[in-house]
A and B are shown apart, each in its own frame.
Chain A
Amino acid sequence: MNDANRSATPGRRTVLRAALAVGAANLAPPFILSARGEQPVLIGLCNPLTGTYAGVGKNELSGCELAVTQINGKGGILGRPVELRVEDSTSGDAGTAVQKARKLIERDKVDFLLGNVNSALALAMAQVSNEKNILHIVPGGHTDAITGATCHWNVFRVCNATQMEANASAQQLIEKAGRKWYYITPDYAFGHTLQAALEKAAERLGGTKVGADLAPLGTTDFSSYLIKAQAANPEVIIFLPQGDDMVNALKQAVQFGLDKRIHLAGAQQELESLEGLPPEARIGSWVFEWYWKQPGVPHVAEFVEAIRKKTGKVPTARTWFGFVSTWSCALAAQAAKSMDAPKMAKALGGMTLPPEIALVPDPALYRAEDHQLVASLFVGNAQAGGTDPEDLFNVSRVVRGADVAGRVEDSPCKMVWPS
């Protein structure tokens, strides 16, 4: 009798240990992409390529790649070619993100660092980039602290702070949907700050909170949250989860028919999420940070065409974040005429982006005081399909970023520059 035929049922302890191991190991899938060249300027992107944010991370990557091609086509950065180094930060593990950021800085010797989609990971990476004096651009991590309480001289952000999104969306919601709000909020930095900002904005306009629940990141089943929300009898249910979690939550709400009785809405919405929803669930009032249909705004059509040619799909806000972030590196170096990080940071602070890169109707400006980009926000409603199969959002109003960004004087950001 050979070994293979023995009863080999593993014990409970083995199953238990194994289950713990898979839980931990899930957080660290390795993924490395690299390229070689001669004395190029290196831009390191440490962003999710796996997990919940893989989809949006990939779109940011497409934007970065297009920008790199364009920059090289125009002679590179200070005459040197540009290369992108990409690392998978995972979607939720700050340890991995920091380790990959360190690898990019210490081993690959990148000149710029980009990332991260996840706010918590972006904050952790910002500490590393600050310690290493590397110019760091956060394309799409929204929590206020990045350009607020924990701002750094070397860190810039392209996407909006949560507070800006809250201010832009609150007014439309109060006017059109109702004053009694129930929040379903993802349980991490981004969700907490977004909910706090919305509560503040709603209060100013006479809105009230009738309840709120924190849902762990990666929640698949939102039914029990929806049961609870419905029982609180709100006029509006505010959905703050992002990515796949948002898709799951909205889809279930529509399956339950809640959209017939309660207004479903939120602050930030993304084309990626709407694409993942069945047409009947593409509903609600939201804020887009960038939209591909901007009639009359110069250079947007060319950008849409270029991305369509590259990926077969229209660019999303994420593509735009990646594109603007990468171009910002080149603009900073060109304005500073140097690759010295403090000089580049000084040059980028206060800079208004040229229209072929800004791609929005309002002037896109990096505020010198907190390094937050203020551009335009697009308020409107999700729609099952417009003139184009990818036209899933109907913009009702474009809000100037400067109007919702709050005053610089009120910002908790205290920037300390290297001496």
Chain B
Amino acid sequence: MLQLILFNVFNGLIVGAFYALMALGLSLIINLSGVINFAHGGFLALGAYLAYSLMPLVGFWGALVVAPLLTAALGLAIERLLIRRVYGRDPLYSLLLTFGLAYILEDVTRYIWGPQSLPYPIPAVLTRPLSTQFFFLTGYRLFMVALVGLAVAALFFVLGRTRLGIRIRAGTLDLETVSALGVNVRVLRNLNFGLGIYLAGLAGVLAAGMLGLQPTIGTSLIMPSFVAIIVGGLGSLPGTLLGGLLIGVVSGLATVFLPSASEAVIYVMMGLVLLLRPRGLLGEEGRLK
């Protein structure tokens, strides 16, 4: 029993790392632009399918690099054309816009690549489990965790050390002042959106290797990311990271004791956090509306 619980905690961390990657992109966009991007799952699916189509041309590793960049480029264009128009308005506008966009993206993938699942081949080196005892630690899953770790480290480096990152963080705190200081807020938001979508695209390619491709892949993965943000605390990126990991572990543990509740349990956890600590685990006080 103890072993079962330990296995599930480790396994939950692996799954949670993936949720965190998706939630971080979502969180970045919410924090700076105030847009709750429901189309995030759609971008994720698109990243996955782009990688699928690119793979015959550039191989697995090439697709892993190129597909998220292409997804981010599309994100930049969509921000420029559509999302930009709803900044500063009632959140309902951006909700409706991104919600519609989510359906459009899902149906576009279904139209282009078909409704049926497609297998996404991964290099043989990554497919083997490392040992029979710890069979759930496959090369691919460890690679995924390492890559998520790398992406998170890079993200925090960009936010902490670069001019762009410092501006994004400053804008998150007080966009008016940042704007008054001469920073081009339009460009800042555009780049920030692209960065968020890049993370979605990367999550998509990683998910494809783990789960294969389905047009619904984004929709099925986006809800836990929202929960991760709320549990971790809105406005806090470390909180989002923590929220994602927690969700993975809690839902893994639920499978040990009450498997049919393994999906519901993350919402119960969200409810508890909201009751006991409404700002979220690492959320800051005073940023509530």
User: Is B76 positioned at the interface, with any CB of A under 8 Å from its CB?
Assistant: no
A11–B30 Cα distance when bound, in Å, is 10
Knowing A220-B211, A255-B140, A275-B116 are in contact, say whether A19-B226 is a contact too (CB < 8 A). yes
In the complex, residue of chain A having the shortest beta-carbon distance to the beta carbon of B252: A224
A1–B180 Cα distance when bound, in Å, is 8
Q: How far is the CB of A159 from chain B (nearest CB, A)?
A: 19
Residues of A within 8 A of B60 (CB): none
User: Is B59 positioned at the interface, with any CB of A under 8 Å from its CB?
Assistant: no
Query: Would A8 and B87 count as touching, CB distance under 8 A?
Result: yes
Residues of A within 8 A of B289 (CB): 10-14
A26–B223 Cα distance when bound, in Å, is 11
Query: Would A12 and B283 count as touching, CB distance under 8 A?
Result: yes
Interface residues of B in 230-288 (CB under 8 A from A): 230, 234-235, 251-252, 255-256, 259-260, 262-264, 274, 278-280, 283, 287-288
Query: Would B15 and A230 count as touching, CB distance under 8 A?
Result: no
Segment among B125-133, B147-155, B156-164 that sits at the interface with chain A: B125-133
A278–B140 Cα distance when bound, in Å, is 15
Specify which of A5, A54, A281 is in contact with B215 (CB 8 Å cutoff): A54
Query: Would A248 and B211 count as touching, CB distance under 8 A?
Result: yes
Interface residues of B in 202-223 (CB under 8 A from A): 210-212, 214-217, 219-223
Segment among A127-135, A163-171, A193-201, A209-217 that sits at the interface with chain B: A209-217
A29–B264 Cα distance when bound, in Å, is 22
Residues of B within 8 A of A50 (CB): 106, 110, 216
In the complex, residue of chain B having the shortest beta-carbon distance to the beta carbon of A58: B115
Query: Would B260 and A55 count as touching, CB distance under 8 A?
Result: no
User: Is A204 positioned at the interface, with any CB of B under 8 Å from its CB?
Assistant: no
Query: Would B115 and A15 count as touching, CB distance under 8 A?
Result: no
Segment among B62-70, B170-178, B192-200 that sits at the interface with chain A: B170-178
Query: Would A213 and B259 count as touching, CB distance under 8 A?
Result: yes
A26–B270 Cα distance when bound, in Å, is 20
Residues of A within 8 A of B190 (CB): none
User: Is A231 positioned at the interface, with any CB of B under 8 Å from its CB?
Assistant: yes
Q: How far is the CB of A26 from chain B (nearest CB, A)?
A: 6
User: Is B72 positioned at the interface, with any CB of A under 8 Å from its CB?
Assistant: no
Segment among A145-153, A256-264, A300-308, A364-372 that sits at the interface with chain B: A256-264
Query: Would B212 and A18 count as touching, CB distance under 8 A?
Result: no
Specify which of B3, B175, B185, B222 is in contact with A231 (CB 8 Å cutoff): B3
Q: How far is the CB of A169 from chain B (nearest CB, A)?
A: 23
User: Is A51 positioned at the interface, with any CB of B under 8 Å from its CB?
Assistant: yes
Knowing A256-B135, A257-B135 are in contact, say whether A15-B220 is a contact too (CB < 8 A). no
- Residue among B230, B255, B260 facing the most chain A CB atoms (10 A cut-off): B255
A19–B99 Cα distance when bound, in Å, is 11
Residues of B within 8 A of A387 (CB): none
Specify which of B117, B141, B176, B227 is in contact with A1 (CB 8 Å cutoff): B176
Tell me the interface secondary structure of chain B in the complex. Answer: helix
Q: How far is the CB of B176 from chain A (nearest CB, A)?
A: 6
Specify which of B12, B106, B117 is in contact with A244 (CB 8 Å cutoff): B117
Query: Would B34 and A10 count as touching, CB distance under 8 A?
Result: yes
Query: Would B31 and A276 count as touching, CB distance under 8 A?
Result: no
Q: How many residues of B contact A (CB 8 A)?
A: 86
Residues of A within 8 A of B119 (CB): 251, 276-279, 281
User: Is A32 positioned at the interface, with any CB of B under 8 Å from its CB?
Assistant: no
Interface residues of A in 217-236 (CB under 8 A from B): 218-221, 223-228, 230-231
User: Is A33 positioned at the interface, with any CB of B under 8 Å from its CB?
Assistant: no
User: Is B112 positioned at the interface, with any CB of A under 8 Å from its CB?
Assistant: no
In the complex, residue of chain A having the shortest beta-carbon distance to the beta carbon of B131: A257
Query: Would B262 and A215 count as touching, CB distance under 8 A?
Result: yes
User: Is A416 positioned at the interface, with any CB of B under 8 Å from its CB?
Assistant: no
Residues of B within 8 A of A29 (CB): 103
User: Is A25 positioned at the interface, with any CB of B under 8 Å from its CB?
Assistant: yes
Query: Would A256 and B175 count as touching, CB distance under 8 A?
Result: no
Q: How far is the CB of A415 from chain B (nearest CB, A)?
A: 33
In the complex, residue of chain B having the shortest beta-carbon distance to the beta carbon of A7: B175
- Residue among B141, B220, B223 facing the most chain A CB atoms (10 A cut-off): B220
Knowing A19-B230, A216-B260 are in contact, say whether A5-B88 is a contact too (CB < 8 A). yes
Interface residues of B in 100-115 (CB under 8 A from A): 102-103, 106, 110, 114-115
Q: How many residues of A contact B (CB 8 A)?
A: 68
Knowing A7-B176, A10-B289, A55-B115 are in contact, say whether A248-B11 is a contact too (CB < 8 A). no
Specify which of B7, B219, B230 is in contact with A15 (CB 8 Å cutoff): B230
A405–B87 Cα distance when bound, in Å, is 61
Query: Would B212 and A276 count as touching, CB distance under 8 A?
Result: yes
User: Is B118 positioned at the interface, with any CB of A under 8 Å from its CB?
Assistant: yes
Residues of A within 8 A of B287 (CB): 9, 11
Query: Would B140 and A6 count as touching, CB distance under 8 A?
Result: no
Residues of A within 8 A of B128 (CB): 257
Residues of A within 8 A of B30 (CB): 9-10, 15
Query: Would B129 and A227 count as touching, CB distance under 8 A?
Result: no
Residues of B within 8 A of A9 (CB): 30-31, 34, 172, 234-235, 287
Specify which of A213, A248, A251, A258 is in contact with B255 (CB 8 Å cutoff): A213
Query: Would B136 and A247 count as touching, CB distance under 8 A?
Result: no
Q: How far is the CB of B63 from chain A (nearest CB, A)?
A: 16
A187–B260 Cα distance when bound, in Å, is 7
A51–B141 Cα distance when bound, in Å, is 26
User: Is B78 positioned at the interface, with any CB of A under 8 Å from its CB?
Assistant: no
Q: Mark A48-68, 1 if CB is under 8 A from B, else 0.
A: 011110110110000000000
In the complex, residue of chain A having the shortest beta-carbon distance to the beta carbon of B233: A12
Q: How far is the CB of A3 from chain B (nearest CB, A)?
A: 4
Residues of A within 8 A of B132 (CB): 257, 261
In the complex, residue of chain A having the shortest beta-carbon distance to the beta carbon of B116: A55
User: Is A22 positioned at the interface, with any CB of B under 8 Å from its CB?
Assistant: yes
Q: Please name 15 further chain A to chain B contacts, defined as beta carbons within 8 Å, in addition to the given A215-B259, A216-B264, sorted by A numbering.
A: A1-B179, A6-B175, A7-B34, A12-B283, A12-B288, A14-B91, A19-B223, A19-B226, A214-B260, A220-B220, A223-B136, A225-B259, A256-B129, A275-B116, A276-B119
Q: Which 9 A-B pairs have the closest CB atoms?
A: A276-B117, A11-B289, A8-B34, A224-B255, A55-B116, A3-B88, A54-B115, A214-B260, A213-B259
Contacts from B to A (Cβ < 8 Å): 3-4, 7-8, 11-12, 14-15, 30-31, 33-34, 36, 38, 84, 87-89, 91, 95, 99, 102-103, 106, 110, 114-121, 127-129, 132, 135-136, 138, 140-141, 171-176, 179-180, 185, 210-212, 214-217, 219-223, 226-227, 229-230, 234-235, 251-252, 255-256, 259-260, 262-264, 274, 278-280, 283, 287-289
